[in-house]
Amino acid sequence: MRRRALLAVLALPVACGARTPLLPGGPGDTGSAGSGGGGGGATPLAVACNAALLDGAPTPIQGYCTTRANQAPLAGPRAPTIAWSVTPFPIVSPEDYLPAETVVDATGRAFVAINVSPQAPANTLNQLFAVDDDGSAGRVAWMSTSVSSIEQLALGRDGRLWFVQQGVPGGAGGGGTGCQDIPCTSYLTELSAGGENLATVIPSLGSSVTSFDLMAIASDGTFFVGSPGLARLATNGPVLWQTYADFGAAILVGPDDGVFAVGGGETDAIDAAGGTLWSGPSGDLGAVNAQGQVVVLSIEDGSLSLMTLGPDGVPVMNVTLGSPQFTIDAYQLAVAGDGTAIVLLADEATSPGITKAQLQIIAVEASGKTRWTTPLDVSLPYDPADLTTHYGLFVDAAGTVVVTAGAVMGLDLASGSVLWTLQSAKPDSCLRPAVLGLGGSILATQCDGTVFLARDP
Residue 376 one-letter amino acid:
L
Q: What is the value of pTM for the model shown?
A: 0.88
Question: Would you say residue 432 lies in a domain?
Answer: yes
Other Cβ atoms closer than 10 A to 328: 21
Q: Where in the sequence is the domain holding 268, given as residue range(s)?
A: 23-455
- Domain total for the chain? 1
Residue 169 is predicted with a pLDDT of 64
Question: Would you say residue 12 lies in a domain?
Answer: no
Question: Would you say residue 355 lies in a domain?
Answer: yes
**CATH assignment at residue 320:** 2.130.10.10
Residue 242 near residue 234, CB atoms below 8 Å: no
Q: How far apart (Å, rounded) are the C-alpha atoms in residues 230 and 215?
A: 10
The rounded average pLDDT for each run of 10 residues, N- to C-terminus, in the chain (457 residues) is 32 32 36 34 73 97 97 96 97 96 98 95 95 94 95 97 83 46 78 96 83 95 92 92 89 95 89 96 93 92 86 94 76 94 92 86 95 95 91 96 98 97 96 97 98 97
* CA-to-CA separations, 24 to 368, 401, 415, 451, in angstroms, rounded: 13, 18, 17, 34
3-class SS of residue 437: strand
Residue 89 is predicted with a pLDDT of 96
Residue 259 is predicted with a pLDDT of 97
Residue 3 one-letter amino acid:
R
Residue 193 is predicted with a pLDDT of 97
Other Cβ atoms closer than 10 A to 455: 22
Residue in 350, 291, 299, 289 with CA at minimum distance from that of residue 322: 299
Residue in 213, 73, 245 with CA at minimum distance from that of residue 148: 213
Question: Would you say residue 3 lies in a domain?
Answer: no
Question: Would you say residue 10 lies in a domain?
Answer: no
Residue 36 is predicted with a pLDDT of 31
Question: Would you say residue 15 lies in a domain?
Answer: no
DSSP string, 161-215: EEEEEEEB--IIIII-B-SSSS--EEEEEEE-TT--EEEEE-----SS-S--SEE
* CA-to-CA separations, 315 to 256, 263, 279, 319, 422, in angstroms, rounded: 20, 16, 11, 10, 38
Question: Would you say residue 9 lies in a domain?
Answer: no
Which backbone phi and psi does 336 adopt, to 5 degrees? -85, 165
